[in-house]
A = this chain, B = another copy of it.
Amino acid sequence: MKIALAQQNYHIGNFTANTNKIISAIEEARKQGADLVVFSELSICGYPPRDFLEFDDFINQCNASIDLIRAHTRDIGVIIGAPVRNPVKEGKDLFNGAWLLYQGEIKGIAHKTCLPTYDVFDEYRYFEPAWEWNVLEFKGRRIALTICEDIWALSENPLYRISPMEQLIGQHPDIMINISASPFDYDHDEDRKEVVRANVLKYHLPMVYCNCVGSQTEIVFDGGSLIYNATGELIREAKYFEEDFMLVDLDASATVTGAGDTERRQLDKDMRVSKISDPEKIISYLTAENNIRQIYAALVLGIRDYFSKMGFTKAILGSSGGIDSAVTLAIACDALGAENVRAILMPSQFSTSHSVDDAVQLSKNLGNPYDIIPIKPVFDAFMDSLKPVFGDLPFSVAEENIQSRTRGNLVMAIANKFGYILLNTSNKSELATGYGTLYGDMAGGLSVLGDVYKMQVFALARFINRDKEIIPENIITKPPSAELRPGQKDSDSLPEYELLDKVLYQYIERRQGPQDLISMGIEEALVNRVLKLVNSNEYKRNQFCPIIRVSSKAFGVGRRMPIVGKYLS
């Protein structure tokens, strides 16, 4: 049997675009002689549709798309993802379904059993878990059809009490097909391969694993669909960060031998927290070239898809001569074209001349347009207006924030006037510690580096400069500074980034508590200071724009903390 796999980039709720894309792939699969073509999870409506699923009208539109697609399946099977109305009154009103369409009919539907409800996932918010399991017959083959998370519960410490493959295996399937919407983080591709292979080795069946690709606001799907034969050999691996189309003849490649499952390691719950526990290895792990290269690709796709799906073409950002804005600018130019990214240099009275020179040189290297607008006149006007209220009180964080917000205002004004979208340049270490000004440098429509620690920003800069100097060396080597008061340096307010990022990674990605951190040899006062900074600045992050997610635990929708909480704060 010839199976085609279509790894596609969908737009949530854009039924016309998604349906047309799906029908095109069906035509292509037919042309190439496929018996069956497989699409990813909830491909009909895009993943994650979130609360759109609560609208009856939205489900009706999903069903209308299924009807349109069905008409194209007279001589080819299609496996596709769409919500399914629950026919009984008990339980939630929907299932997350994998539909088998053929001969213009719905031949069968598998419901998802394991509903991820952690991190960025909210599936139990919408869906009832499956309570019955049936192998689907197609052209004499018996398909064990599952959806994404369904195949992830195979460790000795599973997140779910029921494993659908354990239910299906007794019905003697010939093949496993899994349709997924499995997002990127910088070592998730390895986890994914391991999980798919572990299933193949456990059940001695070939597996067709179809993932989607593309970015949906903050969540990047990296593709990398997989086809394994029954012996655990990887037959085909789709492209990462791009659409792809693959065709395999399973009869030619599926040779069952007595492979064991000895290589299977502890998965499941452990996979949901990052795995690097040795504090000495954290920075080298975070900045490893393989991770940085993937992060770069994810950020480019994240920017590009945000703009194309929102209908925007042009970006703007504040370019300070510092490393965060330099890296953001370089990535944005790659994603959107340098001519579509406008840099605004807004020196203050405390900016060094180097800052402007470096930022100018950066834009010359990249070839993007830039303007220089000093902020002192507006800052002075603010201070004059506030004189009756401020009196003779000394310069404080209020004046620093006025400068930062003046910049935010200037760049938003140009954005509003000409239709640019403001890219935010804050990094994860700053967001974690609240080292930023609301409505100032925290302004923006999309955060490029908000899930990238400062040490990783340095590594990204080196990666960007790998062939030639794009980011001026001085930007990389000078001490980080917000330049909001004379001689200011980040290290006046924060621990050195190498130390800070270690603590943050342990706390944020690995959910280690204060005692764990102290027992790793980190000074107690530092632990308490950093954890208090993280928790007491939740209110700032709560108003922050979407962050392109590249780690296993990004700020934003995947990390939900109380604001009025009084824990470690």
Q: Which residues of A contact B (CB under 8 A)?
A: 11-14, 17, 46, 48-52, 54-58, 60-61, 89-93, 115, 117-118, 122, 124-125, 128, 131, 156-161, 215-217, 269, 305-306, 309-310, 371, 373-375, 377-378, 380-382, 384-386, 388-390, 393, 396-398, 401-402, 405-406, 408-410, 412-414, 416-417, 438-439, 443, 445, 511, 513-516, 539, 542-546, 557, 559-569
Contact = CB atoms under 8 A, between A and B. Distances in A.
Contacts of A561: 50-52
A366 B160 CA distance: 57
Nearest to A215: B564
A385 B373 contact: yes
Contacts of A91: 158-161
A437 to B, nearest CB: 9
B58 A567 contact: yes
A30 B414 CA distance: 67
Nearest to A344: B389
A310 B56 CA distance: 40
B306 A564 contact: yes
Contacts of A14: 565-567
17 contacts: A12-B565, A46-B562, A56-B511, A91-B160, A93-B269, A115-B124, A131-B161, A217-B562, A306-B564, A310-B563, A373-B386, A378-B382, A378-B385, A386-B414, A389-B417, A398-B413, A438-B443
B405 A382 contact: no
A305 B562 CA distance: 14
Contacts of A438: 412, 443
A542 B542 contact: no
B414 A217 contact: no
A314 to B, nearest CB: 14
A413 to B, nearest CB: 5
B388 A216 contact: no
Nearest to A378: B381
A409 B439 contact: yes
A397 B385 contact: no
Contacts of A49: 562, 565
Contacts of A560: 50-51, 122, 125, 557
Given A160-B90, A160-B91, A217-B563, A382 B410 contact: yes
A115 B514 CA distance: 30
A390 B50 CA distance: 40
Contacts of A159: 91-92
Contacts of A393: 417
A383 to B, nearest CB: 9
Q: Which 9 A-B pairs have the closest CB atoms?
A: A57-B513, A13-B567, A381-B381, A14-B566, A398-B416, A398-B417, A439-B439, A309-B564, A124-B124
Contacts of A11: 564-566
A377 B386 contact: no
A183 to B, nearest CB: 14
Contacts of A406: 409
A87 to B, nearest CB: 13
Given A90-B160, A93-B269, A216-B564, 6 more contacts: A13-B562, A14-B566, A58-B567, A377-B385, A390-B417, A405-B412
Nearest to A544: B543
A89 B416 contact: no
B378 A12 contact: no
A61 B566 CA distance: 13
A57 B371 contact: no
A127 to B, nearest CB: 10
A51 B514 CA distance: 16
B516 A439 contact: no
Contacts of A128: 161
A315 to B, nearest CB: 15
A113 B457 CA distance: 45
Contacts of A157: 89
Nearest to A416: B398
Contact of A381 (B60, B158, B380, B417): B380
Contact of A55 (B89, B385, B511, B546): B511
Contacts of A401: 412-413, 416
Contacts of A397: 416
Contacts of A115: 124
Contacts of A516: 57
A115 to B, nearest CB: 8
A14 B51 CA distance: 32
Of residues A60, A385, A393, which shows the largest number of chain B Cβ atoms within 10 Å of its Cβ? A385
Contacts of A17: 566
Contacts of A50: 560-562, 565
Contacts of A48: 562
A56 to B, nearest CB: 6
A213 to B, nearest CB: 14
Contacts of A443: 438-439
Nearest to A439: B439
Nearest to A559: B51
Contacts of A60: 513
Contacts of A569: 13
A562 B569 CA distance: 32
A405 B17 CA distance: 37
A308 to B, nearest CB: 9
